[in-house]
Structure 1
Amino acid sequence: MATFISNSPAETIALGESWGRDAKSGLVIALSGDLGAGKTQLTKGIARGLGISDRVHSPTFALLNQYGGGRLPLFHLDLYRLETPDQIIAAGLEEYFHPAGVSVIEWAERWFLAPADFLAQAAKGTHLRQVRLESITETGRRITYEDFGH
């Protein structure tokens, strides 16, 4: 597991941008963290790294925002309003756990209930990055992440 300390939203965006530049199709980035922890800032950077110029905003009320025009499409999901895996399936979001592009999932703990879920998803051929964002100061964040799968 790796840890990155971000001292500003700009540094969080820069980390995401590096991930976006390196991303391959099929990558799922599962984000967890409290409100205001930087999940959407990290996603803005991922979009920038993919070459997407659209304005990225949280899909809390839409559940899913799709962005094209970059090297790979970006699927940005927000599971905050869904409480169980059954609700996620009923909303038709399960297909984005095996994307033809890159999926970034905010509030991923609503789908990945236990560490074994990450291993099971990786066993299905998904490259999965589990990310936890924590506020450590007003603008500082501790970002820990681990990759599962190829």
Structure 2
Amino acid sequence: MQSLFPIEIDSAEAMKAFGAKLSNQLSSGDILALIGDLGAGKTHLTQGIAEALGRTDAVTSPTFSLVNEYTDCSPELIHFDWYRMDSPEELLAIGWEDYLDRDAILVIEWPDRFPEMIPPASHCIHIEHTPTGRHLSYALA
């Protein structure tokens, strides 16, 4: 995965296309932590991943639902948004530990809210606004 980074993305469609490319590097049990400001493109990246994994219906940010499960993807994709959560206890209350045991890819928006809840060896993508689009970099948790 490291070989895909750093990369400059100049549009929402390019972000989705990069998500599709990124999906080839992911497998069941992987955790992808997406770190970036509002409007950085976290959901667009997730949409590209989901579409490449077989999702045909809409993929939306789980800002209010906190988690969206896409069981029609192969492997399954579980998409979290921690933005509206107030504590790690709230994350545990929605079953975070159970999700970690699922045979799925977990994608987390706003993981920097509770970095202590991100397991070691999770894939972290930092998305930064630039004058011409977005700059994406990669690190392991």
TM-score, with structure 1 as normaliser: 0.82
Change (3 A) 1:110 1:98: farther
| 1:11 partnered with 2:11 | no
Query: Offset at 1:70?
Result: 2.5
**Residue 145 of structure 1 aligns to which amino acid in structure 2?**
Y
List, as ranges, runs of 4+ consecutive aligned residues in structure 1 with deviation greater than 6 Å. Answer: none
Cα distance between partner residues in 2 of 1:22 and 1:109:
23
Gapped regions of structure 1 (runs ≥ 5): none
State how many pairs are aligned: 138
Cα distance between partner residues in 1 of 2:99 and 2:114:
12
Give me the CA root mean square deviation: 1.9
Cα distance between partner residues in 1 of 2:13 and 2:99:
27
Partner residue in 2 for 1:30:
33
Query: Offset at 1:11?
Result: 1.2
Q: Aligned match of 2:126 in 132, 138, 146? A: 132
Gapped regions of structure 2 (runs ≥ 5): none
Partner residue in 2 for 1:142:
135
Cα distance between partner residues in 2 of 1:134 and 1:31:
11
Cα distance between partner residues in 2 of 1:21 and 1:42:
13
Partner residue in 2 for 1:94:
97
TM-score, with structure 2 as normaliser: 0.87
Identity of aligned residues (%): 37
Query: Offset at 1:108?
Result: 0.6
8 Å contact from structure 1 (residues 28, 128) kept in 2: yes
